[in-house]
Chains A and B, each alone.
Chain A
Amino acid sequence: MIRREIVFPVPREELWDALTEPERLEDWFANEVEVDLRPGGAASFRWSNGEERHATVTTVAPEERLAFAWDDEGEVEFTLSDDAEGTRLVVVETAPAWTTALDLQASALAHVHG
């Protein structure tokens, strides 16, 4: 499981839009984005290196929670909450088939080459 928590100095609405509007996502997440923002809706992401990933939206609670399941594997959940300095974002990604062995291999390589 991956969990990241970060506070952005912007209102919730601004962060929600950056996470859900295709033209906003195209400025930071992927090069081409299509999102049908409702539970069961399809999302697709294309990157300039030719990579392409598809997902299905599972939860849409405006300015609060957004979740989608990758069609290949894993789920991503964004949770927004108020913070004194803006908006707190918690990202959790789970993928059942990740193995410590694979992660370790990547980690060892990163350490050796880094």
Chain B
Amino acid sequence: MSTADPLGQVFSALADPSRRHVMDYLAARGTATATELTGELPITRQAVAKHLATLAGAGLVSSERRGRETRYRLTVVGREWDDRLGALRDHLDRRKET
């Protein structure tokens, strides 16, 4: 898929019902591993991994390694909290300096 057509990438990522189920699940749970998603959907783990890669390529899902597992979440949900927690970290740093 070409990055020259980001909106097309988003639409084609969403065109598949299994991928929409993956997104519904992530929206409801916050985060999930590929194994957890495989337990929820009537598809193989390999297919889940492929769907996650497509969703990540479209910028809809991001992953985060925690120990031995990789957790996935919807990219946009919670961006506000990423900003707030960054501000909290800066606030605590400033207090340490004085």
Q: Which residues of A contact B (CB under 8 A)?
A: 1-4, 6, 8-10, 14-15, 18, 24, 27-29, 89, 91-93, 98, 100, 103-104, 106-108, 110-112, 114
Q: Chain A residue with minimal CB distance to B20?
A: A100
What 10 pairs between A and B have smallest CB-CB spacing? A111-B59, A2-B78, A107-B76, A28-B91, A3-B30, A28-B87, A1-B30, A100-B27, A108-B10, A106-B76
Q: Given the complex, which residues of B lie within 8 Å of A24, measured CB to CB?
A: 91
B31 in contact (CB, < 8 A):
yes
Q: Given the complex, which residues of B lie within 8 Å of A15, measured CB to CB?
A: 92
CB of A107 to closest CB in B, whole Å:
4
Q: Which residues of B contact A (CB under 8 A)?
A: 6-7, 9-10, 14, 23-24, 27-31, 58-60, 74-79, 81-82, 84-85, 87-92, 94-96
Q: Given the complex, which residues of B lie within 8 Å of A114, measured CB to CB?
A: 59
CB of B53 to closest CB in A, whole Å:
15
CB of B46 to closest CB in A, whole Å:
24
Partner pick for A108 among B7, B31, B89, B90, CB 8 A cutoff? B7
Q: A107-B75, A110-B59, A111-B58 are in contact. List 14 more A-B contacts (CB 8 A).
A: A1-B28, A2-B30, A4-B81, A4-B85, A18-B91, A18-B92, A18-B95, A28-B91, A29-B88, A92-B30, A98-B27, A103-B74, A111-B7, A111-B75
- Classify the secondary structure of A's interface with B: mixed
Taking a contact as CB atoms under 8 Å apart, the answer to whether A103 and B10 are in contact is: no
Partner pick for A107 among B59, B90, B91, CB 8 A cutoff? B59
- Given known pairs A3-B30, A6-B85, A100-B27, the reply for A107 and B78 (CB within 8 Å) is no
Taking a contact as CB atoms under 8 Å apart, the answer to whether B92 and A8 are in contact is: yes
Q: Chain A residue with minimal CB distance to B87?
A: A28
CB of A3 to closest CB in B, whole Å:
4
